[in-house]
Amino acid sequence: MIIDGKQIAASLKAEVAQKVSEASAKRGRTPKLTVILVGEDPASQVYVRNKAKACEAVGIENETIFMSAETTESELLDTIARLNADPSVDGILVQLPVPRHINESKVIEAIAKDKDVDGFHPLNVAGLWQKTPHMAPCTPKGIMKLLSAAGVDPKGKRAVVIGRSKIVGLPVAKMLLDANATVTLCHTRTVDLPSVTRGAEILVVAAGVPKMVTGDMVSDGVVVIDVGMDRDPETGKLCGDVDFDTVAPKASAITPVPGGVGPMTIACLMENTLECFLAHFDGLGNL
Ligand code: GUN
């Protein structure tokens, strides 16, 4: 079975659109997301455009602030401070990566916790690990929703996560653990990775290496979530971290690239923006 991320994302967005419409009528204003892009990275330009399009589709007001690659750290921090203080802005997202002369951690920490739609602020990260109210990061949240939509309950299953990034690997491992899976967190330097991945009933791959997981590395019936967004070095075509052609025949369910995790990340960003909007009226405890 192919897990149709596009379709699952479309139904989540429809749900969010309905709630946005109801909440806007009740509160007398519309949720608003502000995205900041520093520099001209072409991939980032595509990502911020897709975020703006998704906002339009669900009725969330949106604004993208384009700042030049020469923007100083203090100029960016000043812009964030202004948006933190602006009551019409519910969510703030700074597209990563930022240029090297800007300290990424400082930027992430500058965004108000209750406007942090990415869930990257240290207090939101702490909330995930301590099970207190928090904004959940979009990609891991989307992965859990994909599993649920595919009818896969992680409870009691052996889940293997390849990749230990702050954005995907670490938080998705924690979410799988909280869903009562037994989780192995490994990475590209793991010794004898195939012996680990063959034990997986759920395999989440966020390694950033094109087609790294091949058919011989998985067991029959595995559920595979491919977080990769790579270019095939041979064909130049978009591909994932999983070699779809050899893994799909053994998998009971698998996400394609593109059309799997990517659309869910954006749909969850819309949901997070709505949650920030509601929290601004009803308090942070509801996050
Ligand atoms: N760059 C790549 N993925 C992300 C993301 O989820 N959020 C932000 N802000 N930047 C990114």
45 close to ligand 1 (CB < 6 Angstrom): no
pTM (two decimals): 0.97
**Atom 2 in ligand 1: residue holding the nearest Cα:** 96
User: Which structure tokens are listed for 277?
Assistant: 């909007």
Give which of 36, 63, 41, 40 is closest to 52, Cα–Cα: 63
Residues whose CB falls within 8 Å of the CB of residue 204, separated by 6 or more in sequence, listed in order: 143, 159, 160, 161, 162, 163, 169, 172, 176, 225, 227
51 is catalytic: yes
Query: Quick one: CA torsion of 228, 233, 234, 238, rounded to 10 degrees?
Result: 40
In angstroms, what is the span from residue 283 Cα to ligand 1's centroid?
26
Would residue 95 show up in a list of annotated catalytic residues for this protein? yes
d(C-alpha 10, C-alpha 14), whole Å = 6
Cβ contact 189:219 at 8 Å: no
pLDDT by position in tens, the chain (length 287)? 999 999 999 999 999 999 999 999 999 999 999 999 999 999 999 999 999 999 999 999 999 999 999 999 999 999 999 999 999 999 999 999 999 999 999 999 999 999 999 999 999 999 999 999 999 999 999 999 999 999 999 999 999 999 999 999 999 999 999 999 999 999 999 999 999 999 999 999 999 999 999 999 999 999 999 999 999 999 999 999 999 999 999 999 999 999 999 999 999 999 999 999 999 998 755 44
Let me know if 254 is exposed, middle or buried by CB neighbors in 10 A (0-12, 13-18, 19+).
buried
Alpha helices in the chain (DSSP H): 5-27, 42-58, 73-85, 104-110, 122-130, 138-149, 169-178, 193-197, 244-247, 261-282
Strand partners, 69: none
